[in-house]
Amino acid sequence: MNFIFMNTVFPVIMLQVQPAASVWEDPTVLLYTVTGFIFIVLLLVLLASVYLLQVIRQMAKMQAQENARRKGIEWVEEPSWWSKLMQWSNRSVPVEKEETVMLDHNYDGIRELDNYLPPWWKWLFYATIIWGGGYLFAYHVAGSMPLQDEEYQAEVKKADDELRALKKAEPGELIDENTVTAIADAAALADGKGTYTSICASCHRTDGGGDIGPNLTDAYWKHGGDIKSVFKVVKNGVSGTNMVAWGSSMSPEKIRNVSSYVLTLAGTNPVNAKKPEGDLYVPTDSTAAPN
């Protein structure tokens, strides 16, 4: 008997603990992860190299000062490579030599200098060119990243596949205005009551007696009093009224639950209920509210 139990139960357990497909199996994710890791390593190496060069430069500076002191000469510090680079990139002219870059333009006494653009502006411009080249390669040459239209089509296809899988796996769970039936389950009605209280009561009152919206407790209905009609109104709304469509923000199950709860309000006759509106509806056995 133990042998039979192991052969029947153990495969089920093994099936349940099968690992899900790893995101690292996607070559694109792996490529960009490795590239990002290499970039971070190179950046850390660059920072360490800059720090080491600063230390070496400081040590050389101290040694040069000591040598000058021993020789009894004045030590003059040479401009650093960074200062030279900034001077080269700016091409700035000292104030006392501004006449050499003065242009002929004169705007109400304001003269224009032919100085170079600030280095940060030029570097930012160069960075955009490099970024644009990388974008062009990634999206249009290598094709490793989807364009906006391709990404949209992929999302639509994924949603369609999921919908088809849902319909195939659970055809009985597909709920719409053509297949819905009133439900009498206590948990479902409690869920419907919660939805009604938080959303519908502002227009129909908590007791269903009607305020901005019509009275839901009498036998008169504007758009039909059966479960399919109520479901359709909740889902699609009513054009030109305060009844908005909830189909895009509420699941079919919740619409069914709140519609079924609305039908349970029939005949409760609350105090100061709104006058009847619409046509008299007489339910049949198949469309009667759930007991």
> In terms of pLDDT, which residue wins out, 148 or 91?
148
Distance CA 54, CA 52 (A): 5
Report the mean per-residue pLDDT for the chain: 81
CA angle, corner 84, sides to 81 and 90, nearest 5? 140
Q: Please name the helix (run of DSSP H) or strand (run of DSSP E) that holds residue 110, with its range, or none.
A: strand 110-113
User: Binning pLDDT at 50, 70 and 90, where does residue 11 land?
Assistant: very low
Rounded CA-CA distance 272/269 in Å is: 9
**Section 152-167 average pLDDT:** 82
pLDDT above 90: percentage of residues in the chain = 23
242: Cβ contacts below 8 Å, ≥ 6 apart: 203, 212, 213
Please count the other Cβ atoms lying within 10 Å of the Cβ belonging to residue 257.
Answer: 24
pLDDT of residue 189: 93
Domains present along the chain, CATH in parentheses: 87-141 (no CATH), 186-280 (1.10.760.10)
Is residue 227 a contact partner of residue 263, using CB atoms and an 8 Å limit?
yes
Q: Which residue from 156, 188, 194 is spatially nearest to 175, judged by alpha carbons?
A: 188
Q: Coil, helix or strand for 107? A: strand
Whether the CB-CB separation of 254 and 195 falls below 8 Å is answered with yes
Q: CB–CB of 175/252 below 8 Å?
A: yes
Segment 153-176 shows an average pLDDT of: 74
Residue 13 clears pLDDT 50, i.e. is over it: no
Residues 45-61: what's their mean pLDDT? 90
pLDDT value for 9? 40
In this prediction, residue 24 carries a pLDDT of: 60
The string of pLDDT tens digits covering residues 132-141 is: 999 998 888 8
Cα 248 from Cα 213, distance rounded (Å): 21
Predicted local confidence at residue 122, as pLDDT: 84
Buried/exposed code over 210-248 (b: 16+ C-beta within 10 A; e: otherwise): beebbbbbbeebbeebbbbbbbbbbbeeeeeeebeebbe
Assigned token pair, 54: 């600063």
Check whether 268 has a pLDDT greater than 60: yes
pLDDT band at 46 (very low <50, low <70, confident <90, very high): very high
